Amino acid sequence: MQEAQDFIKSVFENFTVELFDERVCREWILNKLHPEGAFCPGCGEPILSERCLQNFWSLKRVFCKDCKKIFTALTGTMLNGIQMDLRTLFVMAVFLQLGADRKVIAKLLKIHPETIRFWEMKFKAWEAMGKDNTSDGAETYKSL
């Protein structure tokens, strides 16, 4: 599993025009979040059903027959509860890697500058967690 501290660097290194396609961007991010495949975040059982796998990789809800948990591919990851399109997050990470001003990023992506600040702080917190492996919560976040 790649550490969360590598998110912005990984995004920047893998940036291509194809990632503006929603499906391609979603698949890239989900493969970074789940390099070992699709598993229930509640009980850890692998997702084997073709329908459930399709839902998982499409960011739709999945029902675990073992523990009865309902979840998506983002549940239990650093992107749990994200309220923006994954392409927007991806492009924001590229701009942050390039050192662009938050206000410029916000204007270009049509989001509030405070949202940029929030994500910049989240990335820094994950980086710190990655460097300090003594934190109990560090393992709960998966990286992109």
Cβ-Cβ contacts under 8 Å for 120 (sequence gap 6 or more): 96, 102
Highest mean pLDDT among 19-28, 103-112, 130-139: 103-112
Out of 1-5, 10-14, 53-57, which region has the weakest mean confidence (pLDDT)?
Answer: 1-5
Average pLDDT over residues 26-44: 92
Q: pLDDT digits over 97-133, tens only?
A: 888 999 999 999 999 999 999 998 888 777 776 644 3
pLDDT grade for 65, boundaries at 50, 70 and 90: very high
% the chain with pLDDT above 90: 51
* pTM greater than 0.85 (yes/no): no
Structure token digits, residue 62: 């999945």
Question: What is the distance, to the nearest Å, from the Cα of residue 8 to the centroid of all Cα atoms in its chain?
Answer: 11
pLDDT grade for 16, boundaries at 50, 70 and 90: confident
